[in-house]
Amino acid sequence: MQRENLAIAFTPADSPASQMSEQVLVDRIRAGDSAAFDEVVRRHHERLIQFVYRVVNDPDDAADVAQETFIKAHRRFGEFRGHAGLFTWLYRIAYNESISLLRRRKLRSYLRLGSDGTVDQSWDPALSIDDDPTAEMESEQLQQQVEAAAAQLPPRQRAIFSMKHFEDMSHGDIARVLGRSEGAVRANYFHAVRKLRQYLSQTGLLDPQP
Amino acid sequence: MPNHLHPNHLHDDELIALASGEGEAPKHLKDCPRCALRFKEFERTLALTTTSMPQMEWNPLQSGGFMHQVRRGIELQSAPRPVPWWQPALGGAGLMLVVLLAFQAAVDQPALEQDSLLASESPDTIDFDEEGLSRILVDGSTGFEYGETVLNDEDDELLILIDAYLIDTATEDELMMSLGDLTEDGVGAAFDL
Ligand SMILES: [Zn+2]
């Protein structure tokens, strides 16, 4: 999907919709009010983009997946039952879209590379760490190490970690997003943290501070 | 008794839960240097990953363009779409792909399982199975349900994949020849997420 820098007349940020509760917005969208849907996009897109970014590890893909999430949400709004919050529902679509993208990426690289099963991991930040000794920014290096550590995790564990720590979502909500049991979410979370500890420990980042 | 088999030592999962702010620290954590050290490591792991995890740079000025794209996508999807000339042919190619993959997945299931197990040590990250693969290939669904909603069932993911492949390469014959080479290892690698 091409991104365009167009200044377009959109529902203004201070429109009446900006004051509406989620329930009112949902009712309005059901009644066909496009300004109400614009408001949903406006409220949630930045957080959703960050979430997708942590799962797919690529800024362009993250924006595309987030766009596709809202487009799909609009198309399927009639299926939103309101059992959980709107944001949880959007996360669910975004997570499925992210996994779908990662599968396409893997299969595409597989088809390109032939049948030896080798998978293109060029997107993986763990493989692109710059160990240039002249790198000055210590915090930048730290970020890279942390990013590399996170890249070791399977996408689902990245998603769980992100929802738990960056979205403060309960295990129950995370389970609803992923379509898994709470027990499975907990097990995945513990596994993710153990892996992160192991990776960071190997890089010396967990050594006692002087 | 070796230290790591000490019956009172806290399990890693308990330590992670405590470091994540769940529950009250038991007395053993204060008394046992081994558990205290491990707890500190998990605590520091979480502190580092939550404070230093990179964020995607997003300028609020980009939001206008983003919302425009969403609006345009919504408008496009409500407009009738022309069917490209090659789609009927791809319907046949897609069916062949499903048949080929289903056959190959069926002939060597133990190797497939082994591949999946090697791919991940997490008990809950192995969710690749024949049924799931067929479902993905046949209707684009990942099988996830949300309440009464089944997501992704309108995605013809297979068509997208073949579409992408055709754009990058040449003829349908070449596509079918490549697909004939697919091994279950490759299929596992492609779908084991
Ligand atoms: Zn202990």
The predicted model gives A72-88 an average pLDDT of 90
Residue B40 has pLDDT above 80, yes or no: yes
Nearest residue of B to residue A92 by CA position? B146
Distance of CA B183 to the CA centre of its chain: 20
**Six-digit token pair at B112?**
């497939």
Domain range enclosing B14: 3-51
Are B151 and A96 in contact (CB < 8 Å)?
Answer: yes
> What ranges make up the beta strands (E) of B115-169?
145-146, 149-150
Are A100 and B155 in contact (CB < 8 Å)?
Answer: yes
Nearest residue of A to residue B164 by CA position? A108
Ligand 1 centre from B16 Cα, in Å? Answer: 14
Minimal C-alpha gap between A65 and chain B (Å): 11
Are B146 and A142 in contact (CB < 8 Å)?
Answer: no
pLDDT, greater one: B168 or B130: B168
Length of chain A: 210
Task: Give CB contacts under 8 A, 24+ apart, made by A131-137.
Answer: none
The reply to whether A207 falls in a domain is: no
Question: Do A106 and A160 have their domain in common?
Answer: no
CA gap A131, A85 in Å, rounded: 43
Half-sphere exposure of A83 (CA within 13 A, CB side): 14
Read off the pLDDT of residues A150-196 as tens digits, 9 standing for 90 and up.
999 999 999 999 999 999 999 999 999 999 999 999 999 999 999 99
Q: How many domains does chain A have?
A: 2
Are A197 and B41 in contact (CB < 8 Å)?
Answer: yes
The reply to whether A100 falls in a domain is: yes
> In chain B, what residues touch A173 (CB-CB under 8 Å)?
none
The reply to whether B16 falls in a domain is: yes
The predicted model gives A128-135 an average pLDDT of 39
The reply to whether A65 falls in a domain is: yes
Label residue B103 by pLDDT band (50, 70, 90). low
Q: How many domains does chain B have?
A: 1
Report the predicted TM-score, pTM, of the whole model to 2 decimal places. 0.64
Last residue of a domain, one of A92, A113, A134: A113
Question: Do A132 and A185 have their domain in common?
Answer: yes
CATH code for position A104: 1.10.1740.10
Domain range enclosing A50: 16-113
The reply to whether A92 falls in a domain is: yes
Residue B7 has pLDDT above 90, yes or no: no
Q: Say if CB A84 and CB A173 are below 8 A apart.
A: yes
The reply to whether A190 falls in a domain is: yes
> In chain B, what residues touch A97 (CB-CB under 8 Å)?
152
Are B178 and A71 in contact (CB < 8 Å)?
Answer: no
The predicted model gives B28-50 an average pLDDT of 95
- Report CA dihedral (A6, A11, A13, A19) to the nearest 10 degrees: -160
CATH code for position A148: 1.10.10.10
Residue B12 has pLDDT above 60, yes or no: yes
Read off the pLDDT of residues A102-127 as tens digits, 9 standing for 90 and up.
988 888 777 765 444 443 333 333 33
- Using alpha carbons, select from A153, A163, A145 the residue that is nearest to residue A84: A163
Write the secondary structure of A72-101 as one string of H (helix), E (strand) and C (coil): HHHHCHHHCCCCCCHHHHHHHHHHHHHHHH
Last residue of a domain, one of A113, A148, A173: A113
pLDDT, greater one: B122 or A47: A47
Residue A63 has pLDDT above 90, yes or no: yes
The predicted model gives A59-80 an average pLDDT of 95
Within 10 A of A203 (CB to CB), how many other CB atoms are there?
A: 15
Q: Does A172 touch chain B (CB under 8 A)?
A: no
ipTM value for the complex? 0.76
User: In this complex, which of A42, A103, A157 lies closest to B67 when CB atoms are compared?
Assistant: A42
Question: Do A101 and A126 have their domain in common?
Answer: no
The reply to whether A210 falls in a domain is: no
User: In this complex, which of B49, B168, B186 lies closest to A196 when CB atoms are compared?
Assistant: B49
The reply to whether B24 falls in a domain is: yes
Label residue B87 by pLDDT band (50, 70, 90). low
The reported pLDDT for the residue numbered B86 is 63
Question: Do A97 and A131 have their domain in common?
Answer: no
The reply to whether B128 falls in a domain is: no
CA gap A26, A29 in Å, rounded: 5
> In chain B, what residues touch A71 (CB-CB under 8 Å)?
70, 73-74, 77
Residues 6 or more apart whose CB falls under 8 angstroms from that of A81 comprise: B147, B148, B149
Question: Do A160 and A133 have their domain in common?
Answer: yes
The reply to whether A5 falls in a domain is: no
The reply to whether A137 falls in a domain is: yes
Angle of CA points A139, A120, B170, to nearest 5°: 140
Read off the pLDDT of residues B152-171 as tens digits, 9 standing for 90 and up.
433 445 544 544 444 444 34
Q: Does A35 touch chain B (CB under 8 A)?
A: no
Residues 6 or more apart whose CB falls under 8 angstroms from that of A206 comprise: A197, A200, B41, B44, B45
Last residue of a domain, one of A90, A113, A136: A113
